Structure 1
């Protein structure tokens, strides 16, 4: 299995929304101080959010394998066309939260 970024962090996280069919289906995040990154599906978005997790896991493994830092990965897909499974990341400055738990809470809300 390809190498992956750690999926947890104790640092603050920067995140961007992942949008599919004009609905936020999840959030792509990266730790501000270490090598962690992951996609968090938004509970209210249902199956499309969970389906997108498969693609984002593959994309993040590709980024790690190609020497892309987690924070660079947040910007890497910004502005690209909408993928049928993964959705899209809009162009814009990432948001920041003090903890990963705060982002998980946002995704659950």
Structure 2
């Protein structure tokens, strides 16, 4: 291999994460940055699924917040925190420069993940 060749990366280990899809209703909280909603953190009502969905109009801030939320959800899974507990765990904390903020008492419910994705699409 020379410096002109593209490097090849092999994933050695990735922390376990929750499933990223569900057929059940979802509970969600808006994730804000500087007062603007950049995405939604959700947890399935009836199973072990959880994920962050960026708002389409949030640009790089919404996308980058997703990276931080994936890390937080992996931490939750590794520490035995259920998806619904994780949804509530960060509520009320100060705004994180990458992850944003979840306001307390902002939890809502959508009948499906698809409905939440449509909300994020604007």
When normalised by structure 1's length, the TM-score is 0.99
Q: 2:85 aligns with which of 54, 61, 72?
A: 72
1:5 aligns with 2:13: no
Q: Residue deviations 1:79-104, cap 9 Å, x none?
A: 00000011000000510011000000
1:27 aligns with 2:40: yes
Q: 2:68 aligns with which of 55, 58, 78?
A: 55
Tell me the CA shift for residue 5 of structure 1.
0.2
Partner Cα distance (1:50, 1:94) in 2: 21
**Helix, strand or coil: the match of 2:101?**
coil
Partner Cα distance (1:22, 1:94) in 2: 16
Partner Cα distance (1:63, 1:42) in 2: 23
Greater length-normalized contact order (CA 8 Å, ≥ 6 residues apart): 1
User: Is the Cα–Cα contact under 8 Å of residues 30 and 106 in structure 2 kept in the other structure?
Assistant: no
Runs of 5+ unmatched residues, structure 2: 1-13
Answer with 1 or 2: which has the greater Rg.
2
Runs of 5+ unmatched residues, structure 1: none
